[in-house]
């Protein structure tokens, strides 16, 4: 059996300081907290993150999310607990890879990510069959990839049409 303090710490981190235990729309809460934090750090914190660092940060968030989501049955008592919302952070980070961050793209990325995460088109749904923390996190990473591609296509289309007019 694991140390109860480590289990408590894993629950706290995986649920984003217990926000995941809010009984309604915990995934949406996780996404909103992530987008809100990105907004704050990028607009009020004056932080600029070059693309290569965004990639590395995204990979680190994904790896950390898999780690703290591991052994969900032992820590949370179920295979895919709704209280685990750190995976939404990983997915949202992937959503904004190579996307110019603005209030508009943050809002668009939030709604597109929630759409893909809820609808779970291929390959999002199939990722859930992976074991443990990998299955918990990778479906959100796949939703983030679909969000990212959608946003890049939308932004390219917008700028293409804007230059035609």
**Would you list the domain boundaries of the chain?**
4-164
Number of Cβ within a 10 Å radius of residue 129:
10
Angle at 87 between CA 147 and CA 83, to 5 degrees: 130
Band of pLDDT at residue 71, cut at 50, 70 and 90:
confident
For residues 3-22, average pLDDT:
92
Reported pTM = 0.91
List C-alpha distances in Å: 165 to 155, 156, 158: 16, 14, 11
- Position 119 scores a pLDDT of 95
Q: Is the pLDDT of residue 43 over 90?
A: no
Residues 72-111 have pLDDT tens digits of: 888 888 877 889 999 999 999 999 999 999 999 999 999 9
Number of Cβ within a 10 Å radius of residue 97:
18
């Amino acid at each position: 059996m694991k140390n109860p303090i480590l289990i408590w710490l894993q629950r706290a981190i995986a649920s984003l300081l217990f926000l995941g235990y809010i009984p309604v729309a915990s995934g949406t809460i996780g996404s909103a907290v992530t987008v809100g934090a990105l907004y704050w750090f990028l607009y009020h914190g004056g932080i600029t993150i070059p693309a290569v660092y965004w990639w590395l940060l995204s990979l680190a968030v994904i790896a950390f999310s898999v780690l703290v989501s591991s052994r969900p049955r032992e820590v949370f008592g179920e295979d895919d607990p709704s209280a685990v919302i750190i995976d939404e952070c990983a997915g949202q980070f992937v959503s904004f890879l190579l996307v110019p961050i603005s209030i508009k793209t943050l809002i668009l990325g939030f709604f597109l990510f929630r759409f893909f995460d809820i609808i779970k088109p291929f390959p999002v749904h199939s990722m859930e069959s992976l074991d443990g923390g990998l299955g918990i996190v990778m479906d959100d990473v796949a939703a983030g990839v679909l969000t990212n591609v959608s946003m890049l296509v939308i932004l390219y289309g917008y700028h293409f049409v804007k230059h035609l007019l």
